[in-house]
């Protein structure tokens, strides 16, 4: 039981930033359009947690992300490629659950090619071979595609913005749906170690934060209400991912600023 809760907390807390589900590729424009379907039922508590997360970000995550950015570009690119390759282990079953068997086949091929020729995913050989652009899927998105409503908006310690549905999706990962530690190694039922899983989660958060330092700084600087802007950004981005839309994510309660491409 203790190990289960440790894994659950790792899945939640070491994800570091909920926007990581967006592949680090958000396009923001000022349209002053809010998400009208998700209620902020716990806004006072959410705002307090949001302030706590901002403090932790400034104290720990942002400095670490800045240090990470000083590493040579090939190292950062290779790290990002490995993390994307590992994320296929969650994307593929969710492709199947959403009835996207073609995408499941493509991503399986991507995983096999990059894990072998690409040396565990360090090199994105699949893209060089013409595979379609990779899009992550998770259990929260699958629940959304099945018609499950988002429920109330939540801000969790360290994790940040989420919803009741997406939190349940994270719980599904740990209850046995997460192939990170259900997959066998070398075909002998030796599960991937907890250390490997936790390391991948930490690196995913650092990699995402490093790629989005300027974008999030600009959003905070130019927002009349940073909390409301982040809430709107998260909810709209999640809806875009669930509907497989390629539209631009819009923010609310912000002053004039140019379109940001956090690629």
The number of folded domains in the chain is 1
In a domain, 258, yes or no: no
Range of the domain at 151: 2-250
91-113: burial string, b at 16+ Cβ within 10 Å, e else: bbbbbbbbebeebbebbeebbeb
How much is the pTM?
A: 0.74
Question: In the numeric block, which tokens belong to residue 208?
Answer: 């995402």
DSSP 8-class letter at 124: -
In a domain, 257, yes or no: no
In a domain, 167, yes or no: yes
In a domain, 46, yes or no: yes
In a domain, 262, yes or no: no
In a domain, 16, yes or no: yes
Q: Tell me the C-alpha distance between 244 and 4, whole Å.
A: 32
pLDDT at 158: 83
The residue whose two tokens read 């936790």 is 198
In a domain, 22, yes or no: yes
Which SS3 state, helix, strand or coil, does residue 260 take?
strand
CB 90 within 8 A of CB 173: yes
pLDDT at 197: 66
In a domain, 263, yes or no: no
pLDDT at 175: 59
Q: Tell me the C-alpha distance between 204 and 162, whole Å.
A: 17
Cα first-last separation, the chain: 40
Residue-level pLDDT, tens digit, the chain, 263 residues: 444 444 444 444 444 444 554 455 455 544 444 444 789 999 999 999 999 999 999 999 999 999 999 999 999 999 999 999 988 988 999 999 999 999 999 999 999 999 999 998 999 999 999 999 899 999 999 999 999 999 999 999 988 899 999 988 877 765 554 555 444 444 444 445 566 667 777 888 899 899 999 999 999 999 999 999 999 999 998 988 888 765 545 544 433 333 334 33
């Amino acid at each position: 039981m203790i190990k289960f809760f440790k894994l659950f907390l790792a899945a939640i807390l070491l994800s570091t930033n909920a926007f990581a589900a967006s592949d680090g590729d958000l396009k923001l424009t000022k349209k002053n359009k809010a998400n009208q379907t998700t209620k902020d039922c716990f806004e006072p508590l959410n705002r307090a947690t949001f302030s706590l997360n901002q403090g932790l970000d400034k104290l720990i995550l942002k400095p670490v992300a800045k240090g990470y950015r000083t590493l040579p570009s090939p190292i950062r690119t290779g790290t990002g490629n490995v993390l994307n390759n590992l994320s296929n282990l969650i994307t593929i079953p969710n492709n199947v659950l959403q009835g996207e068997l073609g995408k499941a086949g493509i991503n399986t091929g991507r995983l096999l090619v990059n894990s072998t020729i690409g040396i565990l995913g360090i090199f994105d050989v699949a893209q060089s071979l013409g595979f379609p652009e990779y899009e992550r899927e998770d259990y929260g998105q699958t629940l959304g595609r099945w018609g499950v409503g988002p429920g109330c908006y939540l801000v969790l310690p360290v994790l940040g913005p989420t919803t009741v549905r997406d939190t349940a999706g994270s719980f599904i990962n740990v209850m046995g749906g997460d192939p990170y530690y259900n997959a066998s190694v070398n075909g002998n039922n030796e599960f991937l170690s907890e250390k490997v899983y936790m390391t991948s989660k930490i690196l995913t958060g650092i990699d995402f934060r490093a790629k989005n330092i300027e974008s999030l700084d600009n959003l905070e600087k130019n927002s009349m209400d940073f909390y409301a802007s982040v809430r709107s950004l998260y909810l709209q981005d999640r809806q875009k991912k669930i509907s497989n839309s390629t539209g631009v994510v819009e923010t609310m309660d912000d002053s004039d600023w140019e379109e940001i491409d956090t690629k």
